[in-house]
């Protein structure tokens, strides 16, 4: 019960911080869509940003965090705080050197990387700039990529700081730091876009500035919590070698979802112009509930399960995992349903206007629909994979991820013809289904049964409670014409009413069905009200 409470509280803190970040991210995307639309420049920017962002997800927030947190947690638990501080210094110093080299190589070989990843850009018509200069989409992508590549240097150090802070149960600062990336991009887009011959260059400056601000936010908190980062050169440190060995397979285990997205963007460069932008905007909305809740649970559960694994508490680890999976299904099933029903209204309300018309909204909505089918699947994968890492097994999820990646490539090639960019989104969902099924199978073989029946029962009850919610939402959104721009207050009121009414109906039926998670929520609210009454 203590670990359940710790996980729930940590997930709550992370969720709250991430809500703020995701709201600012949504504002950022609204600004980008209004100023730049979806076409030549946005395709180039999103493709260029994809490269350092992919590395961030694979190596920084993905493999590095998954390898570092269990090792650092075990070091702290078994050897004490002084040894853990020493390890933090060594890792920070080593990572600084490695990522500096990676950044230099990325800038130098940017043309080769862009041509390899986005071959379709070579055949698109160039853009005429003010003054008569001509620039191709490949040239613009290379320029923007070189400008943004140092972002991976700063964000990798941020990820290491995040791992240290999460291990000592400080979750808020790492989660809130992405707000500064969004604020930086918004400010640069609004105030600097008129200062460049290619206005979207301002966004690239915003990315670089945001990475610097995120790192500067972490260091004072580390110092206050007793981890004043200092240079320490000890590349032969046994824990560093262990982290490096764990990171290799972890790249695939954590990063396959993002690799699938990357493959989708590569293939989208062969589709009509705007396809990369449609996928990007859809991914952003798809990741909104993921970032608020699923990532929060995954981040919160890894330190807890790492401690339990290090102490040999297998039953406790199973209990933590089961709780996290039930909680994940309870949130993501209604969120998935809401996105499926409201995909077009969301794009109409948030993005339509300026350079973003209804046709673009419909194309983005199509991609979001197919992505949303896999919301719960991707969420379960993000909780299951860290369980293997808590057990210091990075090979099994890596092997599973490789198979899932191959499935995604095959599905993409099969579906991109008939469904275009929607087929690429659907391929990602089908790949997540394969990956989740394999993870469950091999995890059960590794640790035995982990209350699968109760997890399935919880998911079934959640699905039943979602059906009346879906009916309410479907009826309410019919009161607006989502094909026309403007009328933001009316549209916002209708969509907000649909979402609010749907949540209320879902919680009511969840309570009637005695779903454990909502019963605990109402119990906590009752206790809080009673405490307030006693104080007054």
| Mean pLDDT across 118-129 | 72
Per-residue pLDDT tens digits for 77-101: 777 778 778 888 888 898 899 889 9
356: β partners? 353
Torsion of Cα atoms, 147 then 149 then 151 then 155, to 10°: 180
Task: Retrieve residue 461's tokens.
Answer: 């009850």
Per-residue pLDDT tens digits for 144-178: 999 999 998 998 888 888 888 877 777 677 777 77
pLDDT surpasses 70 at 525: no
Dist CA 10 CA 12 (whole Å): 5
How distant, in Å, are the alpha carbons of 62, 312, 369, 370 from that of 374? Answer: 20, 34, 9, 8
How many degrees, rounded to 5, is the angle at CA 98 between CA 97 and CA 101? 90
Q: How confident is the model at residue 536 (pLDDT cuts 50, 70, 90)?
A: very low
| Mean pLDDT across 308-336 | 81
**Is the entire prediction scored with pTM above 0.85?**
no
Strand intervals (E) in 197-275:
none
Check residues 270 and 203 and name the one with the higher pLDDT: 203
Dist CA 467 CA 472 (whole Å): 9
Give the pLDDT of residue 534.
47
Highest mean pLDDT of the ranges 166-180, 224-238, 518-532: 224-238
Check residues 148 and 246 and name the one with the higher pLDDT: 148
Per-residue pLDDT tens digits for 384-426: 887 887 777 878 888 888 898 899 999 999 999 889 999 999 9
Give the pLDDT of residue 524.
47
DSSP state of 513: T
Q: How confident is the model at residue 213 (pLDDT cuts 50, 70, 90)?
A: very high
Is-contact 27 186, C-beta < 8 A?
A: yes
Torsion of Cα atoms, 407 then 410 then 411 then 412, to 10°: 120
What integer best gives the mean pLDDT of the chain? 81
% of the chain residues with pLDDT over 90: 24
> Dihedral sign, CA of 501, 504, 510, 514?
negative
| Mean pLDDT across 61-86 | 72
Which residues lie closer than 8 Å to 406 by C-beta, 6 or more apart?
A: none
Going by C-alpha positions, the residue among 257, 259, 450 that lies closest to residue 371 is: 257
Q: How confident is the model at residue 430 (pLDDT cuts 50, 70, 90)?
A: very high
Per-residue pLDDT tens digits for 254-264: 556 667 777 77
Instruction: Please state the domain extents for the chain.
Output: 2-450, 465-536
Task: Retrieve residue 454's tokens.
Answer: 């109760």
Is-contact 446 393, C-beta < 8 A?
A: yes
% of the chain residues with pLDDT over 70: 83
| Mean pLDDT across 185-189 | 92
Task: Retrieve residue 46's tokens.
Answer: 């999103």
Going by C-alpha positions, the residue among 46, 21, 233 that lies closest to residue 121 is: 46
Is-contact 260 431, C-beta < 8 A?
A: yes
Is-contact 284 21, C-beta < 8 A?
A: no
How distant, in Å, are the alpha carbons of 76, 190, 289, 391, 439 from that of 517? Answer: 32, 43, 18, 26, 24
Dist CA 140 CA 203 (whole Å): 13
| Mean pLDDT across 119-136 | 72
Check residues 27 and 436 and name the one with the higher pLDDT: 436
| Mean pLDDT across 117-135 | 73
Tokens 């580390």 belong to residue: 222
Per-residue pLDDT tens digits for 447-482: 888 777 888 888 899 999 999 999 999 999 999 889
pLDDT surpasses 60 at 186: yes
Dist CA 158 CA 153 (whole Å): 9
135: β partners? 127
Lowest-pLDDT range of 74-78, 104-108, 132-136, 276-280: 74-78
Tokens 């998954």 belong to residue: 66
């Amino acid at each position: 019960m203590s670990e359940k409470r710790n996980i729930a509280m940590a997930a709550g803190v992370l969720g709250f911080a991430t809500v703020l970040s995701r709201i600012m991210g949504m504002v950022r995307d609204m600004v980008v869509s209004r100023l730049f639309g979806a076409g030549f420049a946005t395709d180039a920017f999103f493709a260029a940003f994809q490269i350092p962002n992919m590395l961030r997800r694979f190596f920084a927030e993905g493999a590095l965090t998954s390898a570092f947190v269990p090792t650092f947690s075990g070091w702290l638990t078994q050897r004490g705080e002084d040894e853990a501080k020493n390890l933090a210094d060594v890792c920070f110093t080593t990572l600084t050197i490695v990522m500096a080299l990676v950044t230099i190589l990325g800038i130098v070989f940017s043309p080769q990387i862009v041509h390899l990843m986005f071959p379709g850009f070579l055949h698109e018509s160039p853009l005429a700039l003010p003054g008569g200069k001509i620039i191709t989409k490949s040239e613009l992508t290379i320029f923007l990529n070189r400008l943004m590549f140092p972002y991976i240097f700063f964000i990798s150090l941020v990820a290491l700081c995040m791992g240290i802070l999460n291990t000592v149960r400080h979750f808020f600062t790492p989660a809130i730091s992405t707000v500064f990336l969004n604020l930086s991009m918004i400010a640069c887009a609004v105030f600097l876009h008129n200062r460049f011959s290619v206005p979207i260059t301002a966004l690239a400056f915003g990315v670089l500035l945001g990475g610097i601000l995120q790192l500067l936010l972490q260091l004072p908190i580390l110092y206050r919590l007793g981890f004043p980062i200092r240079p320490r050169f000890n590349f032969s440190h046994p824990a560093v070698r262990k982290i490096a060995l764990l990171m290799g397979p972890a790249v695939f285990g954590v990063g396959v979802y993002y690799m699938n997205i990357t493959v989708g963007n590569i293939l989208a460069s062969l589709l009509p112009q705007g396809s990369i932008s449609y996928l990007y905007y859809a991914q952003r909305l798809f990741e909104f509930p993921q970032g608020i809740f699923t990532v929060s649970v995954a981040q919160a559960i890894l330190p807890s399960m790492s401690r339990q694994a290090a102490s040999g508490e297998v039953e406790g680890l199973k209990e933590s995992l089961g709780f996290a999976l039930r909680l994940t299904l309870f949130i993501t099933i209604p969120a998935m349903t809401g996105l499926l029903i409201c995909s077009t209204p969301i794009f109409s309300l948030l993005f339509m206007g300026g350079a973003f018309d209804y046709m673009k909204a419909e194309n983005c909505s199509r991609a979001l629909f197919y992505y949303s089918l896999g919301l719960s699947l991707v969420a379960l994968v993000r909780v299951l994979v860290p369980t293997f890492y808590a057990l210091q097994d990075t090979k099994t999820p890596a092997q599973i991820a490789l198979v899932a990646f191959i499935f995604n490539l095959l599905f993409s090639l099969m579906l991109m013809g008939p469904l275009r960019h929607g087929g690429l989104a659907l391929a990602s969902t089908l790949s997540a289904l394969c990956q989740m099924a394999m993870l469950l199978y091999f995890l059960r073989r590794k640790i035995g049964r982990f209350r699968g029946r109760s997890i399935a029962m919880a998911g079934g009850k959640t699905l039943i409670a979602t059906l009346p919610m879906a009916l309410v939402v479907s009826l309410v959104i019919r009161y607006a014409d989502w094909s026309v721009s403007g009328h933001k207050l009316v549209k916002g009121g209708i969509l907000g009413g649909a979402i609010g009414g749907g949540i209320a109906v879902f919680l009511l039926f969840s309570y009637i069905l005695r779903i454990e998670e909502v019963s605990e929520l109402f119990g906590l609210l009752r206790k809080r009200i009673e405490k307030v009454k006693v104080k007054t």
